Amino acid sequence: MSVENKNNYPQLKEAAQLLQANEVVAFPTETVYGLGGNALSDEAVDKIFAAKGRPSDNPLIVHIAQKEQLHTLVTNISETAEKLMEAFWPGPLTVILHSNGTVSEKVTAGLSTVAVRMPNHPVALALITEANLPLAAPSANLSGKPSPTTAKHVAKDLTGRIAGIVDGGAAGVGVESTVVDCTGEIPVILRPGGITTEQISAVVGEVAVDPALLSEHEAPKSPGMKYRHYSPDAPLVLVEGSSAFLNELVRKEQENGKIVGVLTTLEEKSDVFADCVIEAGSRKELQTVASSLYDALRSFDEQAVDIIFATTFAKEGVGVAIMNRLEKAASNQIIKEN
């Protein structure tokens, strides 16, 4: 959907008017669909939390369309943030900086910092520009469910709960933005996402990782990381091992009368025997796994499975983000062959 001439897209004007009236509207970004509301308004932010059924102690990411908007939201922009924005904006990177108090305290969940990104999607940028507002926008799904990568996903979760949906086709990246805290001397990755640690390090040098990503006992600081997330209806268990080991686990569950689903890749699909086998991309191109992961997880809800086994991935490159989402969806349940 090209938006060079916004007059050809009356839905953008209508959506912008709804946002200006402190209603909430779902819109596409390059990562997932966001549920946007006026980041300056307590009323609008309350509607976001209500629509999602999301606890209000979870901070939200603010979306902007021009870098000038950032200056109206933060006290100062660090050199690290400048370098990262130069390299990755617009794109799937969120920077955390010190808030100047302009955005609603409900956006920051009472923190002194604010998370901001500039999405790389023509519809998102056109909508933000038309509304002339910074938009607080978590993923446009019911809290705990897999994030939506199509307007159809949004409609399934939120019809009747929000003012509208702007359909801009399927999202491309598939997993949410990488969140980087730029308030200290060394940038800290709080959530892995579409921009990898290696890419960030190539731009700014030394990078740290939030201990909460390495231990389930640490309290996370990043938007969207505090609660059980990304989960299909049936319980999900990760499996690290051979196809033979996975098939044995499937067989045991079937003997107990369970309908079993397996989430795997193009390369392994033919080696897996379950009641429902869903492929999420190619192991040789992990970006294809990222872009199809949430759609694949949602597909199991239509298959009435009792349990889902999912194969695992190496934690390198975008594999870090994929495994982060799978571990959250599985509540860290993993069965290892050895």
Strand pairing class (260-264; 208-209): unpaired
Question: Is position 137 annotated in a ligand binding site?
Answer: yes
Residues 207 and 252 in one domain: no
Domain total for the chain? 2
Any domain includes 126? yes
Residue 219 or residue 126, greater confidence: 126
Average pLDDT estimate for 288-292: 97
pLDDT band at 58 (very low <50, low <70, confident <90, very high): confident
**What pLDDT, on a 0 to 100 scale, did the predictor assign at position 1?**
44
Sequence-distant contacts of 310-316: CB under 8 A, at least 24 apart: 310/236, 310/237, 310/238, 310/239, 310/262, 310/263, 310/264, 311/238, 311/239, 311/246, 311/262, 311/263, 311/264, 311/265, 311/268, 312/238, 312/239, 312/240, 313/283, 313/286, 313/289
Angstrom distance (rounded) from CA 275 to CA 262 = 8
In this predicted structure, the answer to whether residue 3 has a pLDDT above a threshold of 90 is no
Residue pLDDT, tens place only, 20-49: 999 999 999 999 999 999 999 999 999 999
Any domain includes 35? yes
Question: Is position 298 annotated in a ligand binding site?
Answer: no
Any domain includes 226? no
| Helix (H) / strand (E) containing 309 | strand 307-311
In this predicted structure, the answer to whether residue 288 has a pLDDT above a threshold of 80 is yes
| 73: nearest Cα among 40, 48, 45, 44 | 40
Question: Is position 58 annotated in a ligand binding site?
Answer: yes
Domain around 280: 236-336
pLDDT band at 290 (very low <50, low <70, confident <90, very high): very high
- Domain endpoint, select from 180, 214, 248: 214
Residues 193 and 277 in one domain: no
Residues 294 and 191 in one domain: no
Cα dihedral: 44, 28, 263, 256 (round 10): 40
pLDDT band at 57 (very low <50, low <70, confident <90, very high): confident
Residues 57 and 17 in one domain: yes
The model carries a pTM of 0.92
**What pLDDT, on a 0 to 100 scale, did the predictor assign at position 219?**
47
Any domain includes 175? yes
Residues 42 and 147 in one domain: yes
Residues 324 and 259 in one domain: yes
Any domain includes 83? yes
Question: Is position 191 annotated in a ligand binding site?
Answer: yes
Question: Is position 33 annotated in a ligand binding site?
Answer: no
Question: Is position 177 annotated in a ligand binding site?
Answer: yes
Any domain includes 63? yes
| Least confident piece of the model among 178-187, 223-232, 256-265 | 223-232
Residue 260's domain is classified under what CATH number? 3.40.50.11030
Residues 71 and 123 in one domain: yes
Any domain includes 223? no
**What pLDDT, on a 0 to 100 scale, did the predictor assign at position 273?**
96
**What pLDDT, on a 0 to 100 scale, did the predictor assign at position 211?**
85
Average pLDDT estimate for 183-187: 95
**What pLDDT, on a 0 to 100 scale, did the predictor assign at position 212?**
78
Residues 198 and 258 in one domain: no
Average pLDDT estimate for 239-263: 98
Average pLDDT estimate for 324-338: 94
In this predicted structure, the answer to whether residue 90 has a pLDDT above a threshold of 60 is yes
Residues 100 and 51 in one domain: yes
Residues 122 and 177 in one domain: yes
pLDDT band at 4 (very low <50, low <70, confident <90, very high): low
Residues 63 and 150 in one domain: yes
**What pLDDT, on a 0 to 100 scale, did the predictor assign at position 54?**
84
Question: Is position 129 annotated in a ligand binding site?
Answer: no
Question: Is position 102 annotated in a ligand binding site?
Answer: no
Question: Is position 231 annotated in a ligand binding site?
Answer: no
Any domain includes 122? yes
Q: How many CB atoms lie within 10 A of CB 325?
A: 23
Angstrom distance (rounded) from CA 207 to CA 284 = 27
pLDDT band at 225 (very low <50, low <70, confident <90, very high): low
Residues 95 and 23 in one domain: yes
Question: Is position 230 annotated in a ligand binding site?
Answer: yes
Residue 116's domain is classified under what CATH number? 3.90.870.10
Tell me how far the alpha carbon of residue 264 is from its chain's centroid: 20
